[in-house]
Amino acid sequence: MAKIGLIFNGVWSHYALATAPKYRDLYELLYVHELTAEAVQHLDALAIPFQSNQQVLTEKQAIIYDFLKAGKKVFLEGDSSTAWLDAQWEDRPVNNYWWVDDPTNPPVSETNYDHPVYQGLTPRQACWHTHGVYTRVPESAEIIQTNATGDVITWQTHAYGGTLLATTLDPLVEHGVQQITHLDNYVDRLTYWLSGEQPSAARMTIDAAAYGVGAVV
Amino acid sequence: MLQALLISNGLQGLEKYYVSNELVQYTICPVTRDFAPDLTPYDLLVVPNGSDHVAMLKIKEQVRAFLAAGKALMCCDGFFTAWVPGNQWVMDNSRRTLDLRYTPGPDAHGLLENLDLDELNFSHGMSGWWSCGYIQAAPGAEVLLADTWQRPIVVLDEVSTPGRMLLTASGPLADVTYAGKSETALVVMYRNFLRLLSSETVPAHG
């Protein structure tokens, strides 16, 4: 039974991940326009992917904060509206090709590998590209990743009851896109941290039957 | 000038990629819980990369009626629900993106004119950057670009409905040349489609 709710605004990469045989028993798609407090009660964690509908999330922020208040985990990736988050996210150009053009200068320069999501990851597995930075985070936040200029890439706080982990990395979307081949490592660590369930060691595959008239929406 | 309805999924920065210009006037339509846009005032429906394909499935019949009236649809990647008449996008990761190369097909309307295919084949010398599944194209639709394994990647469909559909497996196509920036392959293709729709010498129904 799924333990992680993937808040979903009809974007294909979210759908590809959550319907992949490797992950479909662990993630439950929660359509953001129909998101209610009742719909998340049975879950241990929420994941809010890159390319989410920030305006609707702002309208429904009480559901997220009440979920945290219940001692549960929330993972937030990619860009984020400051309207519902006590932090300042700012856009930056995405560098997809640092590893080709300037491999000694990755978009993340410091990582706390003691964090459970990052334990055992190589630097390459812990950073592919970033979608902006946080220039302000809550006072209570622990900093987990920064870039070379000291901007925050990943942070975590327990200030709301449970654990909110926020990053400008986009592991869930990029794993759905399937152009970065090492992302099983990060997403499997993240999935275990969120749910306590270890996904199978096999590489993510796609179930073609979940597309078209067979789409599960 | 074309009147286009641009569907917005509330993503950061969408408006920067679609700016009204001499060819087209964009009206942005946000997806809401009660999403039911009136398509009738528009010539073109633009469903960009990162769109809400649950919402689009809800207006499937309105889209079909829109195309039945001879109007046009541009949809960039990821239509995993069955709302596009005659065509279906499917995700696939069974092939190595490293091996991916695009091959042009018949192009009766010149939508690939002035397009540098190497821009789609390579980025910073790396291939596979534009890889996002493929399209199960309608029989008789024009496959403008196929991939290494002959799977449709860009499709112009003038047969499934009385209207026109330009569909891509990958995204984004965008309309960002308003500021005189150099035209990338994706912009060239999109603007060639806009010119086709704008042309008075080409019938709206091929």
User: Which of the pair, B178 or A157, is modelled with greater confidence?
Assistant: A157
**Alpha carbons A80 and B12: distance in angstroms, whole number:** 9
Q: Which residues of chain A have pLDDT under 70?
A: none
The domain total for chain A is 1
Q: Sort B123 into a burial class: Cβ within 10 Å, 0-12 / 13-18 / 19+.
A: middle
- Closest Cβ opposite residue A211 in set B12, B80, B124: B80
Residue B205's pLDDT band (boundaries 50, 70, 90)? Answer: very low
**B contacts of A130 (beta carbons < 8 Å):** none
Tell me what pLDDT residue B177 has. 55
- How big is chain A, counted in residues? 217
Q: Could B57 and A217 be called an inter-chain contact, meaning their C-beta atoms sit closer than 8 Å?
A: yes
Tell me what pLDDT residue B181 has. 58
Non-local CB neighbours of B128 within 8 Å, separated by 6+ positions:
A179, B96, B97, B98, B99, B100
Q: Tens digits of per-residue pLDDT, B105-151? A: 999 999 999 999 998 898 888 888 888 899 999 999 999 999 999 99
Interchain CB contacts (distance < 8 Å): A and B: 107
Q: Which domain holds residue A115?
A: 4-214
| The amino acid at A38 | E
CATH of residue A164's domain is 3.40.50.880
Superfamily of domain B2-198: Class I glutamine amidotransferase (GATase) domain (3.40.50.880)
Q: Tens digits of per-residue pLDDT, B70-102? A: 999 999 989 999 999 999 999 999 998 889 999
Residue B182's pLDDT band (boundaries 50, 70, 90)? Answer: low
Give the position of tokens 């091959």: B103
Q: Could B124 and A100 be called an inter-chain contact, meaning their C-beta atoms sit closer than 8 Å?
A: yes
**Shortest CA distance from A34: residue in chain B:** B33
Average pLDDT of chain B? Answer: 90
Tell me what pLDDT residue A120 has. 96
Residue B178's pLDDT band (boundaries 50, 70, 90)? Answer: very low
How close A132 comes to chain B (CA, Å)?
Answer: 11
A213 near B CB under 8 A: yes
In this prediction, residues B187-192 reach a mean pLDDT of 90
Question: Which DSSP string corresponds to B7-38?
Answer: EE-S-TTHHHHB---SSEEEEEEE--TT----
Q: Model ipTM?
A: 0.94
- Closest Cβ opposite residue B77 in set A12, A31, A211: A12
- Closest Cβ opposite residue B97 in set A16, A179, A206: A179
Mutation test of the interface with chain A: which of B12, B51, B79, B122, choosing the one with the most A Cβ atoms within 10 A? B12
- pLDDT over 70 (residue B180): no
Q: Where along chain B do its domains lie?
A: 2-198
